[in-house]
Amino acid sequence: MARAERVMPGGVSSPVRAFRAVGGTPLVMRSGEGAELEDADGRRYVDFVCSWGPLILGHAHPAIVRTIAETAARGTSFGAPGEQEVELAEYLTSRYPGLEQVRFVSSGTEATMSAIRVARGATGRDRIVKFSGCYHGHADHLLVAAGSGLATFGRPSSAGVPEAFVRETIVLPLDDEQRLTDLLCREGDRLAAVIIEPVPANNGLLLQQPEFLITLRRETEKRGILLIFDEVISGFRLVRGGAAELYGITPDLATFGKVIGGGLPVGAFGGRRDVMRHLAPLGGVYQAGTLSGNAVAMAAGLATLRTLERENGWQRLNDLGRQLEALLAPVLAAAPCPAQIVRAGSLFWISLQAGPAPRSAEAIDPCAADRYRPLFHALLDRGIALAPSAFEVGFLSLAHTPQHLESLRDGIASALLAPQGVA
């Protein structure tokens, strides 16, 4: 890390990795295998971060490693249409509700940024709505009240974003139908889009009541406002068709990343054909990328999704999630500090606050961060890696075994009951 800090700000390529929210020095990782990571000193950790979501099959899954090697041997990127991107596009569009066309990009940030641009181009309106606590990547106009990486820095938004750039972004709280319908009544004909993480997983796990999402769909549709589901985390993870399938709600546009890239840099956005036709070269909304749709990333994504299909992956992941909840719930309930597990399929959040699970960023107790810090370090000392922030979720992969889940249970039990405690 000392070498890293000399040549990279904070020693990292993405800020949450720097441990600022939990203190201490980040570990430098050397390799990953299945559900485990090995650091530069040769210590092993059970990994519940999974590269923040993409590694749904675990690290270095043999089928993915083989696919990447075989594809790369025939050329990594052609700068021209390729077979793999067509196959992945066919896969995604045939399985995600209402997804007729997609465009590939190289990150979730690009996907949401471009989806918003298409929505503005298609509607001829400028204004957008997002919800506080939802993170949609780091495009300027979306860096407003945007989730844990920013929450733990105690900043509502980022320096370096001119006020004028966020003037067309309206922020609403989650879980508040009244505020939502009032705003849509008032501003409806000026709104291009409402963007939401249908399973908000960037400021804790703020599970929404289905009625809220149903109202959102109904009220946006009435007014010609495009509804964008940001499924960068939830897409092709919770169930095959993501939150859209889970809730039975079809958005106009959706954004993807993480799982669909099999551990390589991939994002995608897409939706109705009549909206996507506004994108260049068909329409006037410009969007492009040198390595977009490159063969290796597409092949890794396809191999990941096909492995999930073949191995009944979504069912097994949900079963693993249920097992984890059953293991952790009694231990957390017996803890001297308020603690509970909040879960959606293979996503989980250890919430260290009292009362019912929060459904909005405003309902989060910031003191939970103080309770999380010692728990995080106690687990890391025992060889268990959770996210270095109280408000990031944990991820399970198909490589996690019941023994890995038990090790988390045992680690939490001994950390919470240790004399120096977490209370």
To the query of whether residue 47 is one of the catalytic residues in this protein, the response is: no
Query: What are the residues facing 170 on neighbouring strands?
Result: 129
Report yes or no: 308 and 91 within 8 Å, Cβ to Cβ: no
Range 190-209, binding ligand PMP (CB under 6 A): 197, 202
Per CB under 6 A, the segment of 58-66, 186-194, 225-233, 415-423 that binds ligand PMP is: 225-233
CA dist., res. 114 & res. 116, Å (int): 5
Q: Which residue in 47, 91, 247, 258 is the catalytic one?
A: 258
Binding mask 362-401 for ligand PMP (x = CB under 6 A): ----------------------------------------
Q: How far is the CB of 265 from ligand PMP (least distance, A)?
A: 7
Query: What are the residues facing 169 on neighbouring strands?
Result: 128
To the query of whether residue 126 is one of the catalytic residues in this protein, the response is: no
Of 214, 213, 259, the closest CA to residue 235 belongs to 259
Q: How far is the CB of 208 from ligand PMP (least distance, A)?
A: 14
To the query of whether residue 230 is one of the catalytic residues in this protein, the response is: yes
Binding mask 241-280 for ligand PMP (x = CB under 6 A): ----------------x---------x-------------
Q: Which residue in 47, 230, 247, 372 is the catalytic one?
A: 230
CA dist., res. 343 & res. 332, Å (int): 14
Binding mask 44-73 for ligand PMP (x = CB under 6 A): --------x---------------------
Q: How far is the CB of 230 from ligand PMP (least distance, A)?
A: 5
Q: Which tokens go with 25?
A: 């020095």
Of 43, 16, 15, 18, the closest CA to residue 29 belongs to 43
Query: CA distances (Å), 328 to each of 48, 52, 293, 294, 322, in order?
Result: 14, 21, 40, 41, 10
What residue is closest to ligand PMP based on CB? 108
Query: What are the residues facing 390 on neighbouring strands?
Result: none
Report yes or no: 214 and 249 within 8 Å, Cβ to Cβ: yes
119: CB partners within 8 A, 6+ apart: 128, 192, 193, 226, 228, 252, 253, 275
Range 285-344, binding ligand PMP (CB under 6 A): none
| Residue 109 touches ligand PMP, criterion: CB under 6 A | yes
Q: Which positions are catalytic?
A: 135, 230, 258
Which residues contact ligand PMP by CB under 6 A? 52, 107-109, 112, 135-137, 197, 202, 230, 232-233, 257, 267
